[in-house]
Amino acid sequence: MTRDDTDDAFADDDQLLVLPDALRHELKEPMGPIETDADRLLEGVDGPLIAVGDVVTYHLLQAGRRPDVALVDGRTKRTEVDAEIREAVTEGASIEVRNPPAELGVPVVRALRRALSTGDPTTILVDGEEDLVALPAIVAAPEGASVVYGQPDEGMVHVTVTDDHRAEMRDLLERFEGDTERFWELLEG
């Protein structure tokens, strides 16, 4: 496993974007259809699969599909996942990064880009929080890819990436606080 950051503390220069309180309500609405059955969700997957969240990743693995990119943090709804889920989703984790809650930092954006560019399934273990990475994943994933993330107490949200979804996520990310110019440089390289 490689670490993308060298310091144990969250470095200020690693901070790119911070979720402003005014945008939090917009993220509560699902960005795609919600599915509770992983097998049924996978019937609609045609292309790369990016999973954001431990429980989502676990259900996809249980259904027999390893995501091409998985982002996990060992937590669900702010509590630790049980040992079975943690072991299943972190097995073979190849990148480890830090990313503070409600932020998108340099290490996680770099890890996402690297994971999307490799042909091998890649699991990114995030120390902190991975939830917001669904947004840049939708922007950076190829047309037709599936980004799946959890909607607490409802199920799995399945976003099939289109130009419209990318534009919507770009608009949302532009409204975050921080260095959007550097963020786009890192994400789009």
130 is in an annotated binding site: yes
54 is in an annotated binding site: yes
73 is in an annotated binding site: yes
Give the total residue count for the chain.
189
168 is in an annotated binding site: no
**How far is the C-alpha of 23 from the C-alpha of 8, rounded, in Å?**
29
Residue in 34, 18, 40, 7 with CA at minimum distance from that of residue 148: 34
Residue 85, classed as helix, strand or coil, is helix
55 is in an annotated binding site: yes
Amino acid identity at 52: V
CA dist 184 to 6, 30, 35, 152, Å? 23, 24, 31, 29
126 is in an annotated binding site: no
CA dist 54 to 58, 91, 126, 173, 186, Å? 6, 12, 11, 23, 25
Neighbours of 43 (CB within 10 A): 10
Binding-site residues from annotation for GTP: 54-56, 73, 130, 153
Binding-site residues from annotation: 54-56, 73, 130, 153
